[in-house]
Amino acid sequence: MTESVVLIESPAPGVGLVRINRPDARNALNMEVRKSLVKALADLTENESIRAIVLTGSPKTFAAGADIKEMAGVGSIEQMKRGSDKLWRAIYSCPKPVIAAVTGFALGGGCELAMTCDIIIAGEGAKFGQPEVKIGIIPGGGGTQRLTRAIGKYKAMRYILTGDVFTAKEAFDMGLVSELAADADVEKRAVAMAQQLAELPPLALMHAKESVLASMETPLSSGLAFETKAIQILFSSQDQKEGMAAFIEKRKPNFVGK
């Protein structure tokens, strides 16, 4: 396959998988890859048979960061016109659950890409970091914001200001990684978790995701109001009726996303 991003529709029922495929450049995130990621996620969002998504790279590299060769000679106006911030927002706003399956290096933009996902499953040998300061810039894909929210100001300052790399175990202990797995099992574990999510009611997952994301951007009172409205809306769904009936009748529910 020669495409920068390979879209696999169904490694398991209800699961879509997107794989970054630039082994010659350690999966560096050039504009082609970023645009392809947005398209792949948009296609999976529109596909009603897909209820959860896995985003992954290669065994040695999830994504080594932005493509420095593509960026080196760029001026500020050209960088602005590229609109890479809009591409990041498109990935982050995917309404379906997205699991990052991280093996190898997730540095710079690769770390930021993982942080746009909802769950991060990392191999024990994975490495994370925001080393942008070492090349004269700062994280520009949300790293200064999302890393700080994930691990706190003082840990984030330590890694953003030094550019030091940290291990998957350190990331897990700090709260950045959801789950650790053996390197060889990361993708399999991510697909299994995505399949677990795919069996749950899609509308409930969507509203749960929106509510959690809202909690990161609003005061508590606003977040609670958002949560209240979300659960009230779900009481009009077929899946709520089905889920509660199945619980009472002690049977497996059949969720249809309506």
Catalytic residues, which ones?
66, 109, 112, 132
Convert 26-42 to b/e letters by CB count within 10 Å (16 or more is b). bbbbbeebbbbbbebbe
185 CB burial (10 A radius; 0-12, 13-18, 19+): middle
Report whether 211 contacts 227 (CB < 8 A): yes
Q: Give me the helices (H) in the chain, please.
A: 31-46, 68-71, 76-82, 84-92, 109-115, 143-151, 153-162, 168-174, 186-198, 202-215, 220-234, 238-249
CA distance 175 to 156: 12
